[in-house]
Amino acid sequence: MTYPAIIELPFSRENAVSPHDSDEDKYPESFPRFFIEHFTKEKDKVFDPFMGHGTTAFVAEELGRIPYGIEADPERHEWAAGQCENWQNMRCGDAGDIADMGFPKMDFCVTSPPFMAVNHAWNPLYCGNKIYAGYDRYLNRMAEIFAAVKPVMKKGAHIIVHVDNIQGKTAYTPLVRDFSILISESFKPAGDTIIQWQNAPEDYPLTHALIFKNS
């Protein structure tokens, strides 16, 4: 299989989020839709270990796939699962504990993990718990989560990870590079597709899709 180096997708957030939430960290439906259409077939099991607002799950159902997901935030989980026909496949918890959640083997994974800047202390993977503050702790835990996901993926399954570098006022975070390194500890790197957004905000012209295989 060949993987495109650059594609163009519309920047449009199509589905609403919980009335108690913001869609600032919600990736456009066009992102998972492109990869689900090109990498899966109907009835395939599509997994998202960072379910968030349920974007991947909604698109998977729209395309006739069966969604599965994990979300750590109880309010987001309750809202997103409540919008899905396959709500029983959505778990509330830490994705690192996936081995205890009774999931079947998955055909495909597409996800947008929570991002963290290198100079921030608040670790989104631990809900800001000061004991686990810092970028190194964030990367270590992210690596542990993807290692835990590996046994749930079928052999040869693709894993697509949405990630952005972060250009801050005082520091630059090479998150694309760091995710490439840490996820490669569990999955074989296969490609890096740049998505150029159509009609996007001026400060967000493109994003990255890291492509891996479970070899």
Mean pLDDT of 164-178: 96
* pLDDT value for 25: 66
CATH code for position 155: 3.40.50.150
In a domain, 174, yes or no: yes
In a domain, 111, yes or no: yes
What's the pLDDT band for 10 if we cut at 50, 70, 90?
A: very high
Strand-by-strand arrangement of the 90-92 sheet: 6-10, 188-198, 206-213, 153-163, 106-111, 45-48, 66-71, 90-92
pLDDT at 46 over 70: yes
> What are the strands, taking DSSP E only, across 74-152?
90-92, 106-111
Mean pLDDT of 119-131: 94
In a domain, 180, yes or no: yes
Mean pLDDT of 91-101: 97
Q: Which residue has the higher pLDDT, 80 or 25?
A: 80
In a domain, 207, yes or no: yes
In a domain, 78, yes or no: yes
Structural domain that includes position 64: 6-213
* pLDDT value for 2: 84
In a domain, 55, yes or no: yes
In a domain, 1, yes or no: no
Q: Are 117 and 166 in contact (CB under 8 A)?
A: yes
Mean pLDDT of 135-152: 98
**Residues sharing a CB contact under 8 Å with residue 212, sequence separation 6 or more, in sequence order:** 158, 159, 160, 161, 183, 184, 187, 188, 189, 190
**Per DSSP, what are the bridge partners of residue 161?**
111, 210
What's the pLDDT band for 22 if we cut at 50, 70, 90?
A: low
pLDDT at 18 over 80: no
In a domain, 63, yes or no: yes
Q: What is the percent of the chain with per-residue pLDDT over 90, rounded to a whole number?
A: 88
| Centroid of chain to Cα 147 | 15
Total number of domains in the chain: 1
Model confidence, pTM: 0.95
Residues 73, 125, 212, 91, CA torsion sign: negative
